[in-house]
Amino acid sequence: MIKKSYNKNLHKLNTFGMRVRATLYIEYDSVEDLTAIQWDKLPQPVLNIGEGSNLLFTKDFPGTILHSGIRGIEVLEERSCGDDLFVRAGAGVIMDDFCDWAARKEVWGPENLSAIPGTVGAAPVQNIGAYGVEAADIIDSVECFEMATGKIVTFSAAQCEFGYRDSFFKHNRGRYIVTHVTFHLYGDFRPVLEYGKLKEEVERNAEIYKADTDPYKPIYQTRFVPPMPVSPMLVRETVKIIRENKLPSPSKKGSAGSFFKNPVVDAAVFRAVENTAAGLKGGTVAVPHYDLPDGSVKIPAAWLIEFCGFKGRTCGGAAVWEKQPLVIVNDTGRATPRDIVALENTIIDKIRDTFGIELSPEVDHI
């Protein structure tokens, strides 16, 4: 069913809580709904959104906002084999609900992506990722509605051209609307625990996770029991706890999650960052980093931002989150797009002037 609203207030439809409006808002819940839309009569441009969790509306939107209500998770029996499952999910399914579904099925793949705000349909567009896993690692194919032709087009994972928080779809906005995503989930034991202190936290939580009576009870409600094997649900619960301790809940403090991408630099630039940091601090500084297979180095943007003194910094109603400087929040609940952008630009300028590194926003500016 199609539902239309004109001059729609988007305040509750973007996790930053920006008080902006769209000329037209359309909610749909099937592919058939999309085929019935008279595209040439819609206010332009047209933007399809999920939970609005990776967007910064910088002003009122002059066109049409589309929102998917396509639900449902189904196992493709004809494709699944052994303990592996091929699972087709509607674009409107909440991604964290999908992660929970997979963990309850005791299959591996999306558990590290738990608690990331957003929908299944947004996952391939942004190639969401966390704790060493990206959506690209488990996506088999993506079904899309092609707006120009009204046809359903299926893209293989290779055709999606996934990159770090990037994809084919991100560079072809206004051409395709994701309707379904098929995931390849794994039945064999394959936890990904190498990122940060995830392995340490999972092992610690394995000591207190009460699996004998209720394997899905949150860890914080359990008592001590003997160690248990690592499971998808255990990893999921651990990731959720880590995120809850570091990141603000959008329902309490508006944000779009990680605001900046972690910069990837060559080895020479990384050495220069170490030298600059040592010079400013008057001694050796251990710069956190991740060595990549091609010889380049990924530096946590959060560390660069905190080193430059932005943790807790405010600008109008916006602020750098005190527990995780990679996050910019709508601190007062009344922050304007101008506040957010001003703080963003101040951070970018300072990092560039200090380290010669240009931070790139992960958040899409609309």
Q: How far apart are CA 106 and CA 125, in angstroms?
A: 26
Which residue among the candidates 141, 258, 313, 344 is catalytic per the annotation?
258
Is 77 assigned a catalytic role?
no
Closest CA to 315 of 328, 301, 300, 299: 328
Is 74 assigned a catalytic role?
no
Strand partners for 87: 75, 183
Which residue type is seen at 273?
V
On the CB side of 319, how many CA atoms lie within 13 Å of its CA?
17
Closest CA to 257 of 330, 352, 345, 148: 330
Structure tokens given for 232: 């998808």
Residue written as tokens 């009870």?
Answer: 217
Which residue among the candidates 88, 165, 236, 313 is catalytic per the annotation?
165
| DSSP-based three-state secondary structure for 256 | strand
Residue 260 vs residues 145, 250, 344: alpha-carbon distances, Å: 30, 17, 9
227 preceded by a cis bond (ω within 30 of 0) = no
Pairing type for strands 364-365 and 55-56 reads: parallel
- Please return the burial class of 23, using the count of CB atoms within 10 Å of its CB with bins 0-12, 13-18 and 19+: middle
Is 362 assigned a catalytic role?
yes
Closest CA to 177 of 76, 15, 33: 33
Q: In sequence order, what DSSP letters do the residues of 53-72 get, joined into one string?
A: TTEE--S-EEEEEEEE----
List residues with catalytic annotation.
165, 258, 362
